[in-house]
A and B are shown apart, each in its own frame.
Chain A
Amino acid sequence: MGDSDDGIKSERTVFVTVGTTCFDALVKAVDTQEFKKELSARGYTHLLIQMGRGSYFPKKSTGEDGSLVVDYFIFSSSIADNLRSASLVISHAGSGSIFETLRLRKPLIVVVNEDLMDNHQSELAEELAERKHLFCAHPQTLFQTVASMNLESLLPYHPGDAAPVAKLINRFLGFPDD
């Protein structure tokens, strides 16, 4: 994050990702004037949308008139770089996306897709929101969430590890403990 002297705003990107799913409701929600104004008001300069298999295409914008720079792409084999350079991540509720973002210590808003049948994904988002590791929202409540969020209140997530499982498996099979 660079200095902001000379009136040059440092680049602060909001990265939106839907993974391999189709989540038009989220892409539409972030593509509204109201939402983009709110992001600008909060100091964000760029909006990058990874739209996956959705059929709604957002409008690109070069931001010459001082508004948000908006760009999108369909899919990429790895969003790690996009996550690393983002200041705020808005993601669908896939566990892969969520934990990749949390491991990079990025502020995260998880948006739950209500159109999915058997939405067990929301369980994970709600549990992590309860533990204050991220914010949880629906497409309709995304705007309020962004408008009222306090990023300072988020707690860092400490990644777990598979050592307990490995230990139990080894013991079961009769391998000596390390």
Chain B
Amino acid sequence: MGLRSQAERNLASHLERELRKLECTVSYNSSPCSFRGKGRNNRGSTVVLLIEMEKGNGCCFSAMTSNPTILVLVTIITVILTRVLYIMYQSGKPLHNTAPQSVSTLIVLGGHTAEMLNLLSMLQKDRFTPRFYIAAATDNMSLQKAHLMEKSLVDMVFFEVVKGKVVLAAETGGEALESAQFMQIYRSREVGQSYITSVVTTIIAIAHALWIMIKIRPQVILCNGPGTCLPLCVIAFLFKVVGIRWSSTFYVESIARVRRLSLSGLLLYKLHMADQFFVQWPQLQKKYPRAHYVGCLM
């Protein structure tokens, strides 16, 4: 107190006198605790005084518990975020369980069908079975090419293409046949489609993808570029977050991508949604270090 100057002491006593003139009410329930009042100063004008006290622990606690829904919401969001981050950084770690007999495989076809079929020819068919082929509803060529390839493995494969509807394959012949199913999915966005209508079609595509994924629940998803794969990969990721069927997603960026990733590739890479991300040119591996450089497939 001795260090304070005369001016400061004057100010302090003046403030004390003003305070005593005010009719004050104290509210301990608001946060922060405050007291407010009004009175007249020596010039006759009304002074409204609002003093906010330091938030004591007592004050805060009462404020929080008075809103349990907020507390619950924050907890839930934190848990979900933590789980999502865990899954994102957990993907890419090889599966530790003992080698499976065979894995059900979903193959997403699109603009680079030749590359995908090339990859499939290197995979042992008895390990990757049953196989489900999926292509955009407006893509006629891809399913035909896949069908031709599968035909070399089975006696007869019939499939019916009904525009916009899920297509199933049926086989005839002996019992030791590979099973392959061919399906179509609504495309999120056609080339050149306006972005506004794209939002609607993307939502439809996601709903359709959800239904397909629930039906098949594949252990392996193979895709190589077209946007068709995005709704499927997102659903697979969400399944992981919720704990349903751990699908391993493998993305092979097309050979046509030398210096830049495609949009699908970029999204899957940045969001850690693919378990393994393959690129065919060294320039991309330098730019995206988490990708595996595997050389040209064609």
Residues of A within 8 A of B (CB): 95-96, 99, 103, 120-121, 123-124, 126-127, 159-166, 168-176, 178
Contact = CB atoms under 8 A, between A and B. Distances in A.
A165 B95 contact: no
B298 A160 contact: yes
A165 B250 CA distance: 10
Interface stretch (B20-28, B69-77, B96-104, B228-236): B96-104
Nearest to B260: A120
B95 A172 contact: yes
Contact of A175 (B119, B127, B252, B278): B127
A8 to B, nearest CB: 38
19 contacts: A95-B298, A99-B114, A99-B255, A124-B255, A124-B256, A160-B295, A160-B298, A161-B118, A162-B294, A162-B297, A164-B294, A165-B122, A166-B119, A168-B292, A172-B250, A173-B220, A174-B96, A174-B100, A175-B99
Given A172-B248, A173-B100, A174-B99, A127 B94 contact: no
A123 B253 CA distance: 14
B294 A165 contact: yes
B95 A95 contact: no
A135 to B, nearest CB: 17
Contacts of A163: 122
Interface string B122-161: 1110010000000000000000000000000000000000
A91 B275 CA distance: 36
A123 B119 contact: no
Contact of A168 (B99, B255, B256, B294): B294
Nearest to B117: A162
A160 B296 contact: yes
A10 B248 CA distance: 55
B114 A96 contact: yes
Interface string B242-273: 00000010101011111110100000000000
Contacts of B94: 171-174
B123 A169 contact: yes
Contacts of B262: 120
Interface of B: 94-100, 103, 112, 114, 118-119, 121-124, 127, 220, 248, 250, 252, 254-260, 262, 275-276, 278, 280-281, 292, 294-298
B119 A162 contact: yes
A95 B220 contact: no
Given A166-B119, A174-B98, A124 B112 contact: no
A103 to B, nearest CB: 8
B292 A121 contact: no
Given A161-B122, A162-B121, A166-B123, A95 B276 contact: no
A165 B252 contact: yes
Contacts of B257: 120, 123-124
Contacts of B255: 95, 99, 124
Contacts of A120: 256-257, 260, 262
B294 A123 contact: no
B258 A127 contact: yes
A166 B257 CA distance: 20
A122 to B, nearest CB: 10
B298 A159 contact: yes
A125 to B, nearest CB: 9
A95 B278 contact: no
Contact of A172 (B97, B114, B276): B276
Contacts of A166: 119, 122-123
B256 A95 contact: yes
B297 A165 contact: yes
